[in-house]
């Protein structure tokens, strides 16, 4: 199955596969994303196109510069051509700060209209609300201050109970701040100080207080996080869900604001068009932390484009009931395997977890993680049978999973990695884990592997398990006839079980 193909959820009526393109005409970057989706069921990112047009050039003086308008026109023509080539007819085009505020911003809308892109000028509050909607569906946060810095403006919003409560667009975009304040290369201390004073002045106009997590959106904030990851040699190549601490921003601020543009442009992992506005975003972040007394912020890899998609994908209020459960099922639908086998492995894993509770004393968090791993344990079969446990772990680490912290995503991938063979160890992912997670991984992997081996013939012969605990663990299998294969394969896991639980294991058929 191709990456962007989607199958219906188990027990759900199949809905026609649709395509939606969302074109974001940002003040710094024009970006097009294409989603394949079944409304309310599942979706996949199918394609994207990005062009750094710097449309907000000149915005500090109230008008978009002619050269920026020409870059915008060329990009629009390319995007329109791309959509025709793909055959995508459902298109949402959103114009933001530059088109909204510049005297000549209407010229951009006219060109987009001429090309059949049907642009909509997005009011600042609605832009803020779409960012909050994306965060509500993607990060494991119920309350947050959501900050989306673009090229022309920055939206600062309050999310309460995963809902938008307040938001306002402020003239604090990275390109606008750069043009208005940072004229030297590298920026002079007095220029940076003036920029930060303006950010603080604007933030003080908001009826918002700190005390809740900060969530950050926008290409420049993600670029800063990427630089921090490279410095830390972060073991996971994912920005969504990454925590960027205030201390780390201070380090970057101290080091990078001393660099001239040419040196910034050569930084590993930084897109060249971000090098110009990077100092402004670092100064913006520094002032933001100071004003809200925040220790750091959570990076969101999704923003208004995904927010706009959710308004088509889900009925009002456009919220996923459980983003984490959706992420697991959505990934399964892209890489499905036999659902009957999946459900039997899940049932056996849950039975083993509960029967052996006196040995591990884990709670709902670990049980959920185990069942999620069982739900996805064979997704690697799409890349081939051999080493499919490794393929599955790769798929689980290759993209963000909504609702998961990086630690949880790492543990999930490791459980899939060791569901059939190998000694469960964190390996390079160890820095993401907490104290006790090594033992947690070992024990949950032992349970998942046992469940898989008790379903080794994929026939459902083992209908249940019962554990007798003492100086050793006697695992009694409920089956209509003696399950020779399952007895043999489960018995081979005695060594792993002993390492995980400290007790010998015997597996027998009840008969």
Tell me the two tokens of residue 345: 């492995």
As a whole number of angstroms, the distance between CA 505 and CA 468 comes to 10
Q: Are 214 and 321 in contact (CB under 8 A)?
A: no
Enumerate domains of the chain plus CATH numbers: 18-122 (3.30.420.40), 125-306 (3.30.420.150), 323-509 (1.10.3210.10)
Whole-model pTM over 0.85: yes
Nearest to 291 by CA among 210, 397, 178, 212: 210
DSSP H helices in 356-483: 357-360, 364-376, 388-397, 406-417, 437-453
As a whole number of angstroms, the distance between CA 289 and CA 452 comes to 48
pLDDT tens, position by position, for the chain (511 residues)?
333 454 444 445 566 899 999 999 998 899 999 999 999 999 999 999 999 998 988 887 889 999 999 999 999 999 999 999 999 999 999 999 889 988 999 999 999 999 999 999 999 999 999 999 999 999 999 999 999 999 999 999 999 999 999 999 999 999 999 999 999 999 999 999 999 999 999 999 999 999 999 999 999 999 999 999 999 999 999 999 999 999 999 999 999 999 999 999 999 888 888 999 999 999 999 999 999 999 999 999 999 999 999 999 999 999 999 999 999 999 999 999 999 999 999 999 999 999 999 999 999 999 999 999 999 999 999 999 999 999 999 999 999 999 999 999 999 999 999 999 999 999 999 999 999 999 999 999 999 999 999 999 999 999 999 999 999 999 999 999 999 999 999 999 999 999 999 999 999 998 7
Nearest to 170 by CA among 193, 204, 143, 144: 204
Give burial (CB, 10 Å; 0-12/13-18/19+) of 210. Answer: middle
Contacts of 307 (CB under 8 A, 6+ apart): 129, 130, 131, 132, 133, 134
Q: Are 205 and 129 in contact (CB under 8 A)?
A: no
In the sheet where 91-95 sits, what is the strand order?
Answer: 42-51, 30-38, 18-25, 91-95, 119-121
- Inter-helix orientation angle 437-453/494-501, to 10°: 150
DSSP conformation class of 187: P
Nearest to 406 by CA among 489, 306, 253, 301: 301
As a whole number of angstroms, the distance between CA 359 and CA 113 comes to 66
Nearest to 193 by CA among 104, 283, 267, 110: 283
As a whole number of angstroms, the distance between CA 320 and CA 310 comes to 9
Verify cis geometry, omega within 30 degrees of 0, for the bond prior to 186.
yes
């Amino acid at each position: 199955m191709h990456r962007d193909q989607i199958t219906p959820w188990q027990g759900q009526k199949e809905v026609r596969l649709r395509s939606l393109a969302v074109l974001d005409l940002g003040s710094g970057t024009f970006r097009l994303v294409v989603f394949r989706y079944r409304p309310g069921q599942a979706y996949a990112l199918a394609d994207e196109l990005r062009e750094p047009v710097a449309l907000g050039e000149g915005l500090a003086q109230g008008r978009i510069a002619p050269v920026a308008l020409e870059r915008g026109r060329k990009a629009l023509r390319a995007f329109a051509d791309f959509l025709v080539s793909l055959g995508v007819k459902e298109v949402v085009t959103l114009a933001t700060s530059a088109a909204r505020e510049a005297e000549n911003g209407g010229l951009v809308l006219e060109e987009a209209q001429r090309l059949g892109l049907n642009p909509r000028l997005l009011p600042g509050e609605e832009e803020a609300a779409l960012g909050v909607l994306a965060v509500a569906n993607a990060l494991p946060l119920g309350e947050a201050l959501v900050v989306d810095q673009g090229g022309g403006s920055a939206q600062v919003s309050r999310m309460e109970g995963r809902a938008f409560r307040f938001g306002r667009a402020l003239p604090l975009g990275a390109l606008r701040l750069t043009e208005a304040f940072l004229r030297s290369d590298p920026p002079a201390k007095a220029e940076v100080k003036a920029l930060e004073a303006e950010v603080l002045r604007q933030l003080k106009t908001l009826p918002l207080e700190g005390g809740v997590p900060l969530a950050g959106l926008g290409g420049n904030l993600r670029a800063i996080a990427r630089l921090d990851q490279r410095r830390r040699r972060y073991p996971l190549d994912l920005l969504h869900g990454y925590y960027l601490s205030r201390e780390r921003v201070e380090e970057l601020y101290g080091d990078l604001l001393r660099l001239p543009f040419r040196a910034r442009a050569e930084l590993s992992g930084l897109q060249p068009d971000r090098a110009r506005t990077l100092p402004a975003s670092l100064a913006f972040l520094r002032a933001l932390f100071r004003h809200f007394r925040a220790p750091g912020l959570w990076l969101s890899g999704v923003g208004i484009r995904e927010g706009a998609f959710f308004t088509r994908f889900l009925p009002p209020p456009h919220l996923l009931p459980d983003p984490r459960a959706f992420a697991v099922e959505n990934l399964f639908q892209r890489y499905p395997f036999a659902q009957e086998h999946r459900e039997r492995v899940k049932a056996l894993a849950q039975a083993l977890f509960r029967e052996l509770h006196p040995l591990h004393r884990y709670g709902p968090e670990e049980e959920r993680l185990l069942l999620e791993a069982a739900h996805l344990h064979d997704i690697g079969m799409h890349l081939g049978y051999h080493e499919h446990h490794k393929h599955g772990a790769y798929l689980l680490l290759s993209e963000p999973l909504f609702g998961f912290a990086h630690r949880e995503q790492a543990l999930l991938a490791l459980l899939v990695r060791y569901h059939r063979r190998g000694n469960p160890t964190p390996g390079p992912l160890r820095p993401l884990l907490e104290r006790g997670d090594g033992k947690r991984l070992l024990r949950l992997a032992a349970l998942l592997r046992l469940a898989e081996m008790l379903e080794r013939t994929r026939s459902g012969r083992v209908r249940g398990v019962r554990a007798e605990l003492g100086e050793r663990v006697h695992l009694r299998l409920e089956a209509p006839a003696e399950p020779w294969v399952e007895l043999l394969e489960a018995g081979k896991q005695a060594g792993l079980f002993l390492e995980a639980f400290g007790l010998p294991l015997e597996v027998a058929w009840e008969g």
